[in-house]
Amino acid sequence: MTDLYIPIAQIILAVAMLAVAVLCIRLDRKITALREGKDGVAAAAAELALAVGRAEASVVALRSVSEAAGEDLQRSIEEARATAEALKFLVTTARAVEIKPAPAPEPAPVRQKRDLRWDEEEVEEDFQLTRRARPLAETWGGLR
């Protein structure tokens, strides 16, 4: 009976060796593919390094631009706050001041027109002047 087990054991061992050979072939193909892909991985790693360098440069540029924009924004905010404070002050003072119409200006004194003709209503001094002037006028009138 032992003679029967030996050939069966040899057959099982041959099948197992065949299965191991198939697995070794598959493993060899995978290792070969990995070695060939290693060059592709190296190229991909180089491209990735370049992309990382460009990204770092972009981050630096973006940081400087954002700092400048932040400073401009801060200045604008400070100006807006100052303007708001000034406007608040103006509104507060405007509410405090009572709105009254300006007083009408007093009219300028009216100068009375002088009548240069001699009236009977003239002042006594004027009559004295005419009395003095009359003989002179008569004199001139008489000389003509």
Domains of the chain, by residue range, sit at 13-96
pLDDT tens digits, 40-91: 777 788 899 999 999 999 999 999 999 999 999 999 999 999 999 999 998 8
pLDDT on residue 132? 54
Split at pLDDT 50, 70, 90, the class of 34 is confident
Cβ-based neighbours of 74, under 8 Å, separated by 6 or more:
none
DSSP characters over 11-66: HHHHHHHHHHHHHHHHHHHHHHHHHHHHHHHHHHHHHHHHHHHHHHHHHHHHHHHH
Question: What is the pTM assigned to this prediction?
Answer: 0.36
pLDDT tens digits, 88-126: 998 888 777 766 677 788 887 777 776 565 555 555 555
